Structure 1
Amino acid sequence: MRFTPIQPPRWGAAVAQGIQLAAWLAFNLLAALGFLALAALAIGSFTLDGLMLQLANLATRYVAANAARQAQFNEILIGAFGVSVLIFSLLRSGSALGILFPRQSVARHGNRP
């Protein structure tokens, strides 16, 4: 009977994988935030003056609205952010799968794919 030694856990690889996944998530969140900023800029006719004018109008109407309307606007904004994060995550799902399930190196096995 042949016994194989117990391999110690590879904590370094797990930490590296966690950092890569955190970077993947941060990129998706920032891309979604940038997409919403681009949408706000588009509402202002792609000018800073137009954007500030639209934001001032939005702020005035938001403060004047009752609590139910403010909650409805908050839900719409959070929903738009969630959908944009979902879209970016789906578009970049291949890189997440590459992080979660890395390919075996060629030098380790000696054969080429």
Structure 2
Amino acid sequence: MATVLQVSRSGRKVDYGYGLYFGLHMAGFLTTTLLMTWGLFVLFFLAIGGFSLDGMMNHVQNLTSRYLAADGTRVDQFKLIVGGVHMVLSAALIFFRRHAILPRDAGRQERPA
């Protein structure tokens, strides 16, 4: 005689809507973090240009001319440096914005302390 094992299932159902909501929220969080990181790069070039558009463009033009004149190994080193700085800035921003990673539950009411 064969024994049939029944899988015990709890009455809980998976809320796919909340999963999609969380996915959209996380995509927005990562997108804003990326834009903030790019903004920090622009702020850096503004700072070394004396907080003027002319000075910033002068430094960007100098960087561009040196990048185009570099050989392959120097370009690879530059890409590694920029990628590393981008990762560090992104990690720092995520650390300081960690309170915004999880979305607020709109259905739950906050209790006064």
| Interval containing the TM-score (normalised by the shorter chain) | 0.7 to 0.9
Show the counterpart of 1:105: 108
Which of 33, 45, 48 lines up with 1:43 in the alignment? Answer: 48
**Structure 1 length normalisation: TM-score?**
0.79
Q: Shift in Å at residue 73 of structure 1?
A: 1.0
**Structure 2 length normalisation: TM-score?**
0.79
Identity of aligned residues (%): 29
CA distance in 1 between partners of 2:53 and 2:109 (Å): 52
The alignment covers a number of residue pairs equal to 105
Q: Which has the larger radius of gyration?
A: 2
Work out whether 1:12 is the aligned partner of 2:17. yes
Higher helix share: 1
Q: Which amino acid aligns with 1:105?
A: R
Instruction: Give the gaps of 5 or more residues in structure 2.
Output: 1-8
Which of 84, 90, 93 lines up with 1:88 in the alignment? Answer: 93
Moved >4 Å (runs of 4+):
101-104
